[in-house]
A and B are shown apart, each in its own frame.
Chain A
Amino acid sequence: MNAHEEDRMKQLLKQALPPPGDTEPERDLWPAMLRRLDARPAPVPWFDWALAGGLAVFAVVFPASIPVFLYYL
């Protein structure tokens, strides 16, 4: 391929592939990213604490249930 053909090929490629548009985001993404990084994980709901406490009480009141739980995991 000589220089003339090479230039012609470049020209054809430029015509076939449209130039990329504006690659900048429409708004600044950093504030949202910083808010997300600073966000604390959601606290454990009281219902889940109550369930965990109820399980502990059940195991104390019915200790015979522990090996059965372990069997079923």
Chain B
Amino acid sequence: MKPHPYLRAYLAGIFVPTLVLPLILAGFIVVRLVLATPFPIERFLVFPFALVPTLFGLWNMLYLASHGRLHQSIGLHGAVLPILGAPIGAFVASCLGLLDFGAHRVIYFQYVRVPYAVLPLLVLAAMAGYYLVWKYVVGFLNRTLGIA
């Protein structure tokens, strides 16, 4: 057994958001500065930058702690994370004024209108994406770091 397995699980977990977030930041800066779109970037970044990497790391530590007893697949374990993360993200977005609830649709970032009927599909799509990311990326990192 290699030492500090939970530290390595945390580092493997935060790998994906840490890698992707700078690219998202660059994309939104381009959208705002080059295309002059009035997009609230500063408030937008709070949840993905402050909380998402931590959620990923802690979720992978939980996988390591529970896998010995539950033997769950890492893909399914990751697919459950949006169920936890979506309400937290929605709460943060609502507190920061990024999320408004209309009569027929929810309005993200004062710009993106999502009908209520589409929200369950959005959650399912997020779960599918997380399933693939956790199965192929986080699972590979866990094997590479010797914790799977």
Known contacts A48-B135, A64-B112, A67-B108: does B85 contact A72 (CB below 8 Å)? yes
Tell me whether A71 and B47 are in contact in the complex, defined as CB-CB below 8 angstroms, given that A55-B125, A65-B125 are known contacts: yes
Q: Are A70 and B24 in contact (CB under 8 A)?
A: yes
- Say whether A67 contacts B128, CB under 8 Å: no
Task: Map CB proximity to B onto A59-73 as digits: 1 under 8 Å, 0 otherwise.
Answer: 000101101111111
- Is B108 touching A55 in the complex (CB atoms < 8 A)? no
Please state if B128 and A71 are interface contacts (CB–CB under 8 Å).
no
| Min C-beta distance of A72 to chain B, whole Å | 5
B132 close to A48 (CB less than 8 A)? yes
Q: A residues 34-53 with Cβ under 8 Å of B?
A: 48, 51-52
Number of interface residues of B (CB under 8 A): 32
Determine if B132 and A72 form an interchain contact, defined as CB atoms under 8 angstroms apart: no
A58 partner, pick from B16, B89, B121, beta carbons under 8 A: B121
Return chain B residues, CB-CB under 8 Å to A51: 128, 131-132
Indicate if B118 sits at the interface (CB-CB under 8 A): yes
Instruction: Say which residue of A55, A64, A67, A71 sits within 8 Å of B129 (CB atoms).
Output: A55
In the complex the two chains form, is A64's CB within 8 Å of B48's CB? no
| Chain A residue at minimal CB-CB distance from B23 | A70
In the bound complex, do residue B93 and residue A55 qualify as a contact, i.e. CB atoms below 8 Å apart?
A: no
Q: Which residues of B contact A (CB under 8 A)?
A: 16-17, 20-21, 24, 27, 44, 47-48, 52, 82, 85-86, 89, 93, 108-109, 111-114, 118, 121-122, 125-126, 128-129, 131-132, 135-136
Q: Jot down 23 A-B pairs with beta carbons below 8 A, ordered by A.
A: A48-B135, A51-B128, A51-B131, A51-B132, A55-B125, A55-B132, A58-B121, A62-B114, A62-B121, A64-B112, A67-B108, A67-B109, A68-B114, A69-B126, A69-B129, A70-B27, A71-B44, A71-B47, A71-B93, A71-B108, A72-B86, A73-B16, A73-B48
